[in-house]
Amino acid sequence: MMKRDRANFGSKLGVILASAGSAVGLGNIWRFPYEAGSNGGAAFILIYLGCVFVLGLPVMISEFLIGRRSQANTAGAYQRMALGTPWRWVGRLGVLTGFLILGYYSVVAGWTLEYIFEATTNGFAGKDAQGFQAAFDSFAANPWRPMLWMVTFMLATHFVIVRGVEKGIERSSKIMMPALFIIILVLVVCSITLPGAGAGIEFLLKPDFSKVTAGTFLSAMGQAFFSLSLGMGCLCTYASYFSKQTNLTRTAFSVGVIDTMVAILAGFIIFPAAFSVGISPDTGPSLVFITLPNVFQQAFGGMPALAYVFSVLFYVLLAMAALTSTISMHEVSTAYLHEEFNFSRKKAARIVTASCIFLGIFCSLSYGVLKGYTVFGLTVFNLFDYATAKIMLPAGGFFISLFTGWYLDRRIVWSEITNDGSLQVPLYRLIIFILKFVAPIFIALIFLHGLGVFELFERS
Ligand code: PFF
């Protein structure tokens, strides 16, 4: 069953940085701040922390153990561990989800390149709020520019993937992740020392529970899954490159802590700067691309050089975070085609890149010429976002917990989590309890929320 010539990550640090690289992405720096901003700040963050550590980590451990045990891509993993059962569809669903997410994620990732370009060529200087809105609208509606950036981003992802697991994925994470931490710290220091930043810090630290509804709780859970890269076999694929010595529980904990720290630090970059110039941080998805450049211009208005450096660094940060995530999504499909269809890795990667670019073109154009084309009232971009984040990821997470909690032989689960009994894992029973009961029930709630079932009840 085991192919021993399989690629492996070369070091413990490589394992953590590659997995954290997958987790840390647009979800932390683009999605988390606007979710927190629209859901009341600190109270959302507290609930989010609960979701990450209580639900997210057991599901992550579950993905890790399935991947490492099977030594296969995510579709192959379920096929091997549950031969001849419908469980194989869980793996296949993961591959499809990753592929679709990559289709629209690479469009937003492409926007980050445009913003690096704009920031570097001083294109932000002198613009006001309307100016930034108009600039974004005309850029997104342009048929060529966003598409070219998206293709560039996919080619960069391709370049890393074809170099393989150790020389491509691991090495690039070892360079980009430390660089990302340094940039974040520099930006946090700049932001919290702005005059008037205190209100933003308070917003992040002082919970206002009056704003909490069932919806807040469920948004926090959806965000936790997206941000931790759970529910589509991405970390399962990475874990198939882990060594037998990797401590799965500890790795999951490190990834959870790093991912959460980056999200909260992104909050510490954005909210103090926004509050210091009196701009509301609850503008939703456009926060990072329309509100923020304006915030940077105003906050550092008296110091144009600082505004320049801050803006360039911020978008470089965003692009690097996105790249380590697109690499991980690409790997899910590449490993699948390579192992299940016997294509060479290069050929598999080419097929994935080409077809993602094809999908990306439709997502990109849905901000311009295809704006009027909708399915269920959603543009192609929003349809992909909705179907993946609100339906497919929660469904994947639900089945993954059931698979480990109920289907898998307990001896396999125990031997993977404790490395054949050589590790003490005091929380073992708790992890199993969560996978059996807590996670499926809560994830089912997200799922129903995603489908709008609760809203139906609320309205009636
Ligand atoms: N976790 C990534 C982020 O926060 O941006 C997004 C992501 C990557 C989702 C990989 C799912 C995935 F499999």
- pTM equals 0.93
Q: How far is the CA of 50 from the centre of ligand 1 (A)?
A: 19
**Integer CA distances (angstroms), 452 to 223, 232, 386, 446, 447, in order:** 17, 22, 12, 10, 9
Does residue 377 surpass a pLDDT of 60? Answer: yes
Question: Looking at residues 237-250, what average pLDDT do you find?
Answer: 97
pLDDT of residue 1: 42
Ligand 1 probe mutation, 22, 32, 173, most atoms within 8 A of CB: 22
Does residue 321 surpass a pLDDT of 70? Answer: yes
Cβ pair 283, 290 in contact under 8 A: yes
**Residues 147-178 as b or e (16 or more Cβ within 10 Å = b):** bebbbebbebbbebbbbebbebbbbbbbebbe
pLDDT of residue 228: 97
Ligand 1 probe mutation, 19, 229, 317, 393, most atoms within 8 A of CB: 229
Does residue 3 surpass a pLDDT of 50? Answer: no
**Integer CA distances (angstroms), 426 to 149, 405, 432, in order:** 48, 17, 12
pLDDT of residue 381: 87
pLDDT of residue 102: 95
Residue nearest to atom 11 of ligand 1 (CA): 229
Domain boundaries, the chain: 12-459
pLDDT of residue 454: 65
Q: Which of 13-22, 117-126, 193-202, 297-306 has the highest mean pLDDT?
A: 13-22
Does residue 74 surpass a pLDDT of 50? Answer: yes
Whether 256 is in the pocket of ligand 1, judged by its Cβ within 6 Å, is no
Assigned architecture for domain 12-459: Orthogonal Bundle (1.10)
Q: Which atom of ligand 1 is nearest to the CA of 97?
A: 13
pLDDT of residue 100: 94
pLDDT of residue 281: 79
Tell which residue, 39, 120, 141, has the closest CA to residue 293: 120
